[in-house]
Amino acid sequence: MRKIAALTISLAGMMAMGAGKADDPLTRPIAPESAKRRLTPQPPVRLYGKTYLVGFGGLNVALIRTSAGLILIDGAVPQAVGDIEVKMRALGFSIRQVKLILSTEPHFDHAGGIAALARDSGATVVASAPAADVLRQGGGDPDDPQAAWLERFPAVANLRVARDGEVIRLGDTAITAHATPGHTLGSMSWSWKSCEGEDCRTIVFAASLNPIAADGWRFADPAHRRFVDAFRGSFAKVKAMRCDMLIASHPLDGDAGRVAQLRKARTPNPFIDPNACRRYAERAEAALRKTLAE
């Protein structure tokens, strides 16, 4: 009995030090090498008004504070969930305050952590209809241009489908869903207003518009025309969006410097750029033209 008691105490000590941390199937690492490059450290920061960034150097995750709770946009990879929740606490928030989690695209690097975040918070996940189908099965969409590269991820339950143009409301905040397919057929971008005093800015969290595909998958193949048409429609939509500040699902060149600058001084805010969405779409449009030409 004495030996059993000693073993129990020893195991308890190991657990306290984290050496015996229980396996969590919703946070098991996915694609650790590529994820490591995306999860470069970035401190949490208030972007503007009640909008915050709680993501990483290569993956954006946004947090919006409303009068009725918090909204998260995207969830990075499963192994990032603990860091996201720590960053929220550093800002004075709890994961249990999150009521909605909005998804941009059903790829493991943006949606892999959503199942764990939804479980920890009890939040409802909101996505487009095509994305919701993929999220429910944890990836595996055979029609995705990147299907050969993509990892499966924890399946997401408690889903709500949003239509293109639908306004999602939580407390005093209204977020508009913008279908921006191409990178995936279920890609969704989101926009809302955030204010500092009477100065309000429209913020856009844009899904990826990158026309990338696995080896052997050709956008120029007539069978894939729907993806090209989807991209062209999304480019036009993003160019025309009201957009004072842009958060791209993958941070843009220079965003790390802008975050560092913002942490030093709130004004002038380096993210304010009414032309950011237009340039974002134009760069992707040029990349598609190059891909088709090749």
CATH number at residue 259: 3.60.15.10
Residue 155 lies in a domain: yes
Residue 3 lies in a domain: no
Residue 48 lies in a domain: yes
Number of domains in the chain: 1
3-state SS assignment for residue 99: strand
Closest Cα partner for 72 from 28, 26, 111? 111
Provide the CA 101 distance to its chain's centre, in angstroms.
Answer: 9
Structural domain for 284, as ranges: 30-293
Residue 211 lies in a domain: yes
Query: Tens-of-pLDDT digits for all 294 residues of the chain?
Result: 333 333 333 333 333 334 456 899 999 999 999 999 999 999 999 999 999 999 999 999 999 999 999 999 999 999 999 999 999 999 999 999 999 999 999 999 999 999 999 999 999 999 999 999 999 999 999 999 999 999 999 999 999 999 999 999 999 999 999 999 999 999 999 999 999 999 999 999 999 999 999 999 999 999 999 999 999 999 999 999 999 999 999 999 999 999 999 999 999 999 999 999 999 999 999 999 999 998
Residue 4 lies in a domain: no
